[in-house]
Amino acid sequence: MVDQSRPARRHHQFYYSDGTHIFRAQNSLFKVHKSVLSDKSLIFKSMFDANDYAGIFPIDGLTDDKPILVPEQVTDDAFELFLSVCYNKWRPDAWQAPESTIIELLELSRMYESQDARKYAIKQLSACCYAVKPINLASIALKYQIKDIFCRAFRRMVSLRVNDITDSEFDLLSSSVWRTLFRLRERLDLHRRIVACEPPPLVHSVGCEDPQRCLHDWRQLWWNGMGRFLVDGRNPQSFNDAVQQFQGLSYGGMSPECWRNVVKFVKEGRAFLHEDDLLDLTARSLAEFLIVEPSFDDTFPY
Protein backbone atom coordinates (compact mmCIF):
# COMPACT_ATOMS: atom_id res chain seq x y z
CA MET A 1 0.00 0.00 0.00
CA VAL A 2 1.07 3.60 -0.57
CA ASP A 3 2.29 5.15 2.67
CA GLN A 4 -0.35 7.84 3.11
CA SER A 5 1.30 9.07 6.29
CA ARG A 6 3.93 10.75 4.15
CA PRO A 7 2.89 14.13 2.71
CA ALA A 8 2.01 14.14 -0.97
CA ARG A 9 2.73 17.00 -3.35
CA ARG A 10 0.60 18.19 -6.21
CA HIS A 11 2.19 17.39 -9.53
CA HIS A 12 3.49 20.49 -11.28
CA GLN A 13 1.97 19.57 -14.65
CA PHE A 14 -0.88 17.13 -14.19
CA TYR A 15 -2.87 18.74 -11.40
CA TYR A 16 -5.65 20.65 -13.15
CA SER A 17 -7.93 22.94 -11.18
CA ASP A 18 -10.88 21.75 -13.26
CA GLY A 19 -9.89 18.09 -13.08
CA THR A 20 -12.50 15.58 -11.96
CA HIS A 21 -10.47 12.83 -10.27
CA ILE A 22 -7.41 12.86 -8.03
CA PHE A 23 -4.88 10.02 -8.14
CA ARG A 24 -1.89 9.35 -5.94
CA ALA A 25 1.23 7.58 -7.23
CA GLN A 26 3.93 7.30 -4.58
CA ASN A 27 4.04 10.82 -3.14
CA SER A 28 2.60 12.73 -6.08
CA LEU A 29 -1.00 13.83 -6.57
CA PHE A 30 -2.52 14.09 -10.04
CA LYS A 31 -5.86 15.79 -10.69
CA VAL A 32 -7.02 14.84 -14.15
CA HIS A 33 -10.11 14.71 -16.32
CA LYS A 34 -12.54 11.84 -16.54
CA SER A 35 -13.11 12.54 -20.25
CA VAL A 36 -9.40 12.22 -21.07
CA LEU A 37 -8.97 8.98 -19.13
CA SER A 38 -12.10 7.50 -20.69
CA ASP A 39 -10.82 8.34 -24.16
CA LYS A 40 -7.44 6.66 -23.62
CA SER A 41 -8.31 3.71 -21.38
CA LEU A 42 -10.95 1.00 -21.76
CA ILE A 43 -10.79 0.25 -18.04
CA PHE A 44 -11.42 3.84 -16.98
CA LYS A 45 -14.19 4.18 -19.55
CA SER A 46 -15.89 1.03 -18.26
CA MET A 47 -15.49 2.13 -14.64
CA PHE A 48 -16.86 5.63 -15.19
CA ASP A 49 -19.70 4.40 -17.41
CA ALA A 50 -20.69 1.78 -14.83
CA ASN A 51 -20.72 4.36 -12.03
CA ASP A 52 -22.79 6.77 -14.11
CA TYR A 53 -25.25 4.05 -15.10
CA ALA A 54 -25.69 2.91 -11.50
CA GLY A 55 -25.80 6.44 -10.14
CA ILE A 56 -22.79 5.79 -7.92
CA PHE A 57 -20.63 8.72 -6.83
CA PRO A 58 -17.42 7.33 -5.28
CA ILE A 59 -15.81 9.34 -2.52
CA ASP A 60 -12.25 8.35 -3.43
CA GLY A 61 -10.66 10.71 -5.90
CA LEU A 62 -12.57 13.84 -4.93
CA THR A 63 -10.08 15.37 -2.49
CA ASP A 64 -6.34 15.35 -1.87
CA ASP A 65 -6.74 13.45 1.39
CA LYS A 66 -8.83 10.70 -0.24
CA PRO A 67 -7.22 10.10 -3.65
CA ILE A 68 -7.54 7.05 -5.88
CA LEU A 69 -4.42 5.05 -5.10
CA VAL A 70 -2.33 3.84 -8.02
CA PRO A 71 -0.81 0.37 -7.30
CA GLU A 72 2.28 0.79 -5.15
CA GLN A 73 4.61 -0.87 -7.66
CA VAL A 74 3.93 1.98 -10.11
CA THR A 75 6.28 4.94 -9.73
CA ASP A 76 5.14 8.51 -10.04
CA ASP A 77 7.41 8.88 -13.09
CA ALA A 78 5.63 6.02 -14.84
CA PHE A 79 2.18 7.38 -14.03
CA GLU A 80 3.29 10.80 -15.23
CA LEU A 81 4.42 9.22 -18.50
CA PHE A 82 1.04 7.50 -18.81
CA LEU A 83 -0.70 10.85 -18.39
CA SER A 84 1.69 12.42 -20.90
CA VAL A 85 0.41 9.91 -23.44
CA CYS A 86 -3.20 10.59 -22.45
CA TYR A 87 -2.87 14.37 -22.75
CA ASN A 88 -0.18 14.38 -25.46
CA LYS A 89 1.70 16.77 -23.22
CA TRP A 90 5.37 16.04 -22.64
CA ARG A 91 8.22 17.18 -20.48
CA PRO A 92 11.40 17.94 -22.49
CA ASP A 93 13.25 14.81 -21.39
CA ALA A 94 10.34 12.39 -21.87
CA TRP A 95 12.15 10.63 -24.73
CA GLN A 96 14.99 9.82 -22.31
CA ALA A 97 12.80 7.76 -19.97
CA PRO A 98 14.81 4.82 -18.59
CA GLU A 99 14.04 1.25 -19.57
CA SER A 100 12.42 0.54 -16.20
CA THR A 101 9.92 3.38 -16.67
CA ILE A 102 9.08 2.19 -20.19
CA ILE A 103 8.39 -1.29 -18.82
CA GLU A 104 6.16 0.24 -16.15
CA LEU A 105 4.27 2.07 -18.89
CA LEU A 106 3.74 -1.25 -20.65
CA GLU A 107 2.35 -2.61 -17.39
CA LEU A 108 0.04 0.40 -17.08
CA SER A 109 -1.11 -0.04 -20.67
CA ARG A 110 -2.07 -3.59 -19.80
CA MET A 111 -3.61 -2.66 -16.45
CA TYR A 112 -5.70 0.17 -17.90
CA GLU A 113 -6.10 -1.32 -21.40
CA SER A 114 -4.68 1.72 -23.12
CA GLN A 115 -3.77 1.29 -26.78
CA ASP A 116 -2.02 4.66 -27.02
CA ALA A 117 0.14 3.97 -23.97
CA ARG A 118 1.09 0.58 -25.38
CA LYS A 119 2.02 2.03 -28.78
CA TYR A 120 4.18 4.71 -27.20
CA ALA A 121 5.92 2.24 -24.88
CA ILE A 122 6.65 -0.13 -27.77
CA LYS A 123 8.03 2.74 -29.84
CA GLN A 124 10.36 3.76 -27.01
CA LEU A 125 11.40 0.18 -26.32
CA SER A 126 12.13 -0.37 -30.02
CA ALA A 127 14.40 2.67 -30.03
CA CYS A 128 16.53 1.34 -27.18
CA CYS A 129 16.10 -2.41 -27.69
CA TYR A 130 19.76 -3.01 -28.56
CA ALA A 131 20.72 -1.72 -25.12
CA VAL A 132 18.65 -4.53 -23.55
CA LYS A 133 20.06 -8.05 -23.35
CA PRO A 134 18.29 -10.21 -25.95
CA ILE A 135 17.02 -12.81 -23.45
CA ASN A 136 15.57 -10.08 -21.23
CA LEU A 137 14.08 -8.40 -24.29
CA ALA A 138 12.44 -11.65 -25.42
CA SER A 139 11.02 -12.13 -21.92
CA ILE A 140 9.53 -8.62 -21.96
CA ALA A 141 8.08 -9.21 -25.43
CA LEU A 142 6.42 -12.43 -24.30
CA LYS A 143 5.03 -10.93 -21.11
CA TYR A 144 3.49 -7.98 -22.94
CA GLN A 145 2.73 -9.85 -26.17
CA ILE A 146 4.81 -7.86 -28.68
CA LYS A 147 5.62 -9.82 -31.83
CA ASP A 148 8.06 -7.41 -33.49
CA ILE A 149 10.18 -6.98 -30.36
CA PHE A 150 10.24 -10.74 -29.81
CA CYS A 151 11.48 -11.37 -33.37
CA ARG A 152 14.28 -8.85 -32.91
CA ALA A 153 15.32 -10.43 -29.63
CA PHE A 154 15.16 -13.97 -31.01
CA ARG A 155 17.42 -13.04 -33.94
CA ARG A 156 20.02 -11.70 -31.52
CA MET A 157 19.79 -14.80 -29.32
CA VAL A 158 21.02 -17.03 -32.14
CA SER A 159 24.58 -15.73 -31.74
CA LEU A 160 24.72 -16.24 -27.96
CA ARG A 161 27.13 -18.81 -26.56
CA VAL A 162 25.21 -21.41 -24.57
CA ASN A 163 27.81 -21.53 -21.80
CA ASP A 164 27.44 -17.77 -21.29
CA ILE A 165 23.71 -18.05 -20.53
CA THR A 166 23.02 -18.12 -16.79
CA ASP A 167 20.48 -20.37 -15.09
CA SER A 168 18.36 -17.35 -14.22
CA GLU A 169 18.32 -16.34 -17.89
CA PHE A 170 17.26 -19.83 -18.93
CA ASP A 171 14.35 -19.53 -16.50
CA LEU A 172 13.10 -16.35 -18.18
CA LEU A 173 11.93 -18.20 -21.30
CA SER A 174 9.86 -21.31 -21.89
CA SER A 175 11.21 -24.64 -23.10
CA SER A 176 9.51 -24.12 -26.47
CA VAL A 177 11.63 -21.01 -27.09
CA TRP A 178 14.89 -22.74 -26.16
CA ARG A 179 14.00 -25.88 -28.10
CA THR A 180 13.24 -23.85 -31.23
CA LEU A 181 16.42 -21.81 -30.81
CA PHE A 182 18.73 -24.82 -30.43
CA ARG A 183 17.15 -26.66 -33.36
CA LEU A 184 17.50 -23.56 -35.51
CA ARG A 185 21.15 -23.17 -34.54
CA GLU A 186 21.87 -26.75 -35.54
CA ARG A 187 20.35 -26.15 -38.97
CA LEU A 188 22.25 -22.89 -39.37
CA ASP A 189 25.52 -24.54 -38.33
CA LEU A 190 24.98 -27.28 -40.91
CA HIS A 191 24.32 -24.70 -43.62
CA ARG A 192 27.42 -22.74 -42.59
CA ARG A 193 29.60 -25.86 -42.84
CA ILE A 194 28.20 -26.61 -46.30
CA VAL A 195 28.94 -23.05 -47.45
CA ALA A 196 32.44 -23.20 -45.96
CA CYS A 197 33.25 -26.40 -47.85
CA GLU A 198 31.68 -25.52 -51.20
CA PRO A 199 33.14 -22.44 -52.92
CA PRO A 200 30.80 -20.49 -55.20
CA PRO A 201 31.18 -21.34 -58.90
CA LEU A 202 33.91 -19.38 -60.62
CA VAL A 203 33.08 -17.83 -64.01
CA HIS A 204 36.33 -17.00 -65.74
CA SER A 205 36.81 -13.62 -67.36
CA VAL A 206 37.57 -13.35 -71.05
CA GLY A 207 41.16 -12.38 -70.27
CA CYS A 208 41.87 -15.31 -67.91
CA GLU A 209 45.11 -16.85 -69.25
CA ASP A 210 45.17 -20.05 -67.16
CA PRO A 211 41.64 -21.13 -66.17
CA GLN A 212 42.81 -24.40 -64.62
CA ARG A 213 45.29 -22.75 -62.26
CA CYS A 214 42.82 -19.94 -61.58
CA LEU A 215 40.17 -22.47 -60.52
CA HIS A 216 42.66 -24.42 -58.38
CA ASP A 217 43.82 -21.31 -56.55
CA TRP A 218 40.23 -20.15 -56.11
CA ARG A 219 39.29 -23.37 -54.34
CA GLN A 220 42.37 -23.16 -52.13
CA LEU A 221 41.64 -19.53 -51.32
CA TRP A 222 38.06 -20.31 -50.38
CA TRP A 223 38.89 -23.18 -48.07
CA ASN A 224 41.95 -21.56 -46.44
CA GLY A 225 40.25 -18.17 -46.20
CA MET A 226 36.47 -17.98 -46.15
CA GLY A 227 35.97 -21.56 -45.04
CA ARG A 228 38.36 -21.16 -42.11
CA PHE A 229 36.82 -17.83 -41.08
CA LEU A 230 33.30 -19.31 -41.04
CA VAL A 231 33.98 -22.53 -39.13
CA ASP A 232 36.93 -21.54 -36.95
CA GLY A 233 36.49 -23.66 -33.84
CA ARG A 234 37.69 -20.95 -31.47
CA ASN A 235 36.32 -17.83 -33.12
CA PRO A 236 33.90 -18.33 -36.02
CA GLN A 237 33.25 -15.08 -37.87
CA SER A 238 29.96 -13.63 -38.99
CA PHE A 239 29.45 -13.59 -42.73
CA ASN A 240 30.13 -9.84 -43.01
CA ASP A 241 33.29 -10.04 -40.89
CA ALA A 242 34.51 -13.06 -42.85
CA VAL A 243 33.99 -11.23 -46.16
CA GLN A 244 35.93 -8.21 -44.91
CA GLN A 245 38.92 -10.40 -44.08
CA PHE A 246 38.55 -12.55 -47.16
CA GLN A 247 38.70 -9.74 -49.71
CA GLY A 248 42.01 -8.59 -48.25
CA LEU A 249 43.75 -11.90 -48.99
CA SER A 250 46.35 -12.40 -51.71
CA TYR A 251 44.64 -14.11 -54.65
CA GLY A 252 47.69 -16.09 -55.78
CA GLY A 253 47.60 -17.28 -59.38
CA MET A 254 44.04 -16.18 -60.05
CA SER A 255 43.31 -13.72 -62.81
CA PRO A 256 42.78 -10.27 -61.22
CA GLU A 257 39.52 -9.85 -63.15
CA CYS A 258 38.29 -13.30 -62.07
CA TRP A 259 39.13 -12.41 -58.45
CA ARG A 260 37.27 -9.09 -58.57
CA ASN A 261 34.21 -10.72 -60.11
CA VAL A 262 34.01 -13.59 -57.64
CA VAL A 263 34.59 -11.31 -54.62
CA LYS A 264 31.73 -9.12 -55.85
CA PHE A 265 29.54 -12.22 -56.07
CA VAL A 266 30.51 -13.32 -52.55
CA LYS A 267 29.82 -9.86 -51.08
CA GLU A 268 26.27 -10.03 -52.40
CA GLY A 269 25.72 -12.73 -49.79
CA ARG A 270 23.66 -15.05 -51.94
CA ALA A 271 24.96 -18.12 -50.12
CA PHE A 272 23.64 -16.71 -46.85
CA LEU A 273 20.21 -15.62 -48.02
CA HIS A 274 18.96 -19.03 -46.92
CA GLU A 275 20.30 -18.39 -43.42
CA ASP A 276 18.55 -15.02 -43.14
CA ASP A 277 15.31 -16.39 -44.58
CA LEU A 278 15.31 -19.35 -42.21
CA LEU A 279 16.01 -17.14 -39.20
CA ASP A 280 13.26 -14.68 -40.10
CA LEU A 281 10.73 -17.42 -40.82
CA THR A 282 11.49 -19.24 -37.55
CA ALA A 283 11.26 -16.06 -35.47
CA ARG A 284 7.96 -15.01 -37.06
CA SER A 285 6.45 -18.48 -36.78
CA LEU A 286 7.39 -18.75 -33.11
CA ALA A 287 6.00 -15.28 -32.42
CA GLU A 288 2.73 -16.21 -34.11
CA PHE A 289 2.53 -19.37 -31.98
CA LEU A 290 3.33 -17.74 -28.63
CA ILE A 291 1.93 -14.23 -28.90
CA VAL A 292 -1.59 -12.86 -29.25
CA GLU A 293 -1.40 -9.09 -29.40
CA PRO A 294 -4.32 -7.24 -27.77
CA SER A 295 -6.97 -5.88 -30.11
CA PHE A 296 -8.40 -3.40 -27.58
CA ASP A 297 -11.85 -4.36 -28.76
CA ASP A 298 -12.09 -6.48 -25.64
CA THR A 299 -10.00 -7.27 -22.60
CA PHE A 300 -6.40 -8.41 -22.81
CA PRO A 301 -5.99 -12.14 -23.57
CA TYR A 302 -3.71 -12.67 -20.58
CATH of the domain at 41: 3.30.710.10
Q: Give the SS3 label for residue 243.
A: helix
In a domain, 263, yes or no: yes
In a domain, 47, yes or no: yes
Average pLDDT over residues 41-66: 88
Which of 50, 72, 97 is the last residue in one of the domains? 97
Q: What is the DSSP string of 36-78?
A: HHHHH-HHHHHHHHHHHHHT---STTSBTTBPEEPPTTS-HHH
Average pLDDT over residues 230-251: 85
Burial of 302 (0-12, 13-18, 19+ CB in 10 A): exposed
Predicted TM-score (pTM) of this structure:
0.83
Do the beta carbons of residue 31 and residue 10 sit within 8 Å?
yes
**pLDDT score of 37 more than 90:** yes
In a domain, 178, yes or no: no
In a domain, 191, yes or no: no
pLDDT interval class at 2 (50, 70, 90): low
Closest-CA residue to 112 (of 201, 38, 51, 172): 38
Which of 97, 126, 155 is the last residue in one of the domains? 97
In a domain, 102, yes or no: no
Burial of 275 (0-12, 13-18, 19+ CB in 10 A): middle
Looking at the 3D structure of the chain, how many domains does it have? Answer: 2
- Average pLDDT score over the chain: 91
In order of 9, 197, 245, 271, the CA distances from 215 in angstroms are 79, 15, 20, 19
Q: Report the range of poorest mean pLDDT among 2-11, 124-133, 279-288.
A: 2-11
Q: Report the range of poorest mean pLDDT among 19-23, 90-94, 117-121, 179-183.
A: 90-94
Which of 97, 125, 142 is the last residue in one of the domains? 97
Strand partners, 63: 66
In the chain, the percentage of residues whose pLDDT exceeds 70 is: 96
In a domain, 29, yes or no: yes
Which domain, by its residues, includes 64? 9-97
Strand partners, 29: 10, 24
Q: b/e for 167-177, b at 16 or more Cβ within 10 A? A: eebeebbeeeb
**pLDDT score of 299 more than 60:** no
Average pLDDT over residues 2-13: 79
pLDDT interval class at 38 (50, 70, 90): very high
In a domain, 155, yes or no: no
In a domain, 65, yes or no: yes
pLDDT of 301 reads 47
pLDDT interval class at 60 (50, 70, 90): confident
